[in-house]
Structure 1
Amino acid sequence: MRPPYATVTIVVLCVLAFLVQETLAEPAAWDFVLGFSMVPAVVTGDRLLPPDVPSLGRAFSLLSSMFLHADVWHLAGNMLFLWLFGDSVEMALGHVRYGVFYLLCGLGGAGAEILHDPASIDPVVGASGAISGLLAAAVMLHPRAWLVLVLPGRRVSLPVPVYVALGGWLGIQGLEAVAADLEAMVAWWSHLGGFVTGTILVLPFRHSRGQSGARP
């Protein structure tokens, strides 16, 4: 039984990024988030970041934004569903293809958000787009399967069908939207874009793995 190396790596990176956010004092913390979040108007070139904001470029922000989160509850919710769904998808695709698939789903989510409002100056952060793609993959690969909780050295089957857990994910997103204040917007288009991307890519990714005859 191989550990879900890629899923563990993503979780660690998200937690480390959040710890960096938390250890920085204001205004450095906000500058860090702004510089590495995905701002649609910055990505399209309509706006520029302030010169004192650290950044590795607008293209890099499409990736780095997937590892940032607004608060500890945002982080915890995303990491919970990543851990529950990531393992089965990683087993089906293989470690490397799974990692590429995850990033492409996140990019699909970012792309949908940009297409929806290319002039938006609101920073978008979170792994929700990529995780939405994982949910789509899990439902397509194992529509009648039960959730599996990965523990050190063992896997425990949970009495929850995958499609029911998908409904729970959507419910949590809805609650976040209701609880959010007017300045805390939920990136619904990112969720939709990630889900559609995962639906389109999961079968080609799985088939390409089967045809290669090698485990990545």
Structure 2
Amino acid sequence: MFIPLYDHNGLVHVMRPVVTWGLIAANAIVFFFVQQSGLSEAVNVSSYSFGLIPSVFFDIKDLTPELQMVPEGATIVTYAFLHADFMHLAGNMLFLWVFGDNVEDAMGHVRFLIFYLACAAAGGLAYSIADYGSDVPLVGASGAVSGVVAAYLMLHPKVKIWVLALGRLPLRLSAQWVLGAWVLYQVFNALFTEAGNVAWSAHIGGLLAGAILVLIMRRRGVPLFDRGL
């Protein structure tokens, strides 16, 4: 649909978005070292050990002992640090790189970390409910990143963003058009697309969580919708 490249939106409250950088680094470290750069066997083992499996999360089934690396409840968050392949990782981290710093700026470091993990959990829960009883593990930071996108859209709809449309055409557009179209695309696919390789329900869960949490987790005095810009 589009690839975000850069936003004209400086930081006001923090000098460096260290949590955003740390999350990107954590995802990269897990992919290259735990998942061995996407080698099929490592991806499969990590997906079942740390990914979110609805049938296991709701105690319908149990993992074999050698795959029980963390408590079942912890996978509501650990799944968000795994990725199926390099492009999956790169896409999520690019969105987090472009949009995460300003959301962190609006919330502060600690609250942003809590916000990010809460959006991940909301996305995982939405997937688990939508695919109740499924044995297919959910992996990827998309739920958490969707929450970041929702928060950014509510904070800075008027900010200009450079994007590559259709993967090749550079455009400078307002966030309200770019991210608004992205949100509608997620909703359309969640409602009308059959289940496939993309967990659309996790995106919707993350979006809803992000839109709600930004209302209460932003710093006092930080306006919504670029009021006063």
TM-score, normalised to structure 2, is: 0.76
Q: CA deviation at 1:163?
A: 2.4
SS of residue in 2 equivalent to 1:197 = helix
2:173 — aligned with what? 160
Is contact 1:136-1:199 (8 Å) kept? yes
Q: Which residue of 1 aligns with 2:168?
A: none
Superposed counterparts of 1:132-143, under 5 Å: 132-143=146-157
Matching of residues 69-108 of structure 1 within 5 Å? 69-108=83-122
Unaligned runs of 5+ residues in structure 2 are 1-13, 164-170, 222-229
Map of 2:204 onto structure 1: 192
Output one character per residue of 1:133-180: Cα deviation in whole Å (capped at 9) or x when no partner: 11110111111112389xxxxxxxx93321233257459979x99xxx
Report how many aligned residue pairs link the two structures: 196
Q: 1:8, CA displacement in angstroms?
A: 0.3
Corresponding letter in the other structure for 1:3: R
> For structure 1, which segment, 162-171 or 72-81, has the greater mean C-alpha deviation from structure 2 after superposition?
162-171
CA distance in 2, matches of 1:133, 1:24: 25
Higher helix share: 1
Question: Relative to structure 1, is the Cα distance of residues 8 and 187 closer, same or farther in structure 2, using a 3 angstrom cutoff?
Answer: same
8 Å contact kept, 1:85–1:138:
yes
SS of the residue corresponding to residue 159 of structure 1 reads strand
Q: Determine the structure 1 residue equivalent to 2:66.
A: 52
- Corresponding residue for 1:201? 213
Match of residue 43 from structure 1: 57
CA displacement at 1:27 relative to structure 2: 4.1
Alignment of 1:68 onto 2:82 = yes
Cα distance in 1 between the residues matched to 2:92 and 2:182: 9
Amino acid at match of 2:48: L
Instruction: For structure 1, list consecutive stretches of 5 or more residues without a partner in the other structure.
Output: 150-157, 212-216
Residue in structure 2 matched with residue 210 of structure 1 by the alignment: 220
Cα deviations by residue, 1:181-203 (Å, 9 ceiling, x for unpaired)? x9952101000000011111101
Structure 2 residue matching 1:144: 3-state secondary structure: coil
**How far 1:21 sits from its partner (Å)?**
0.5
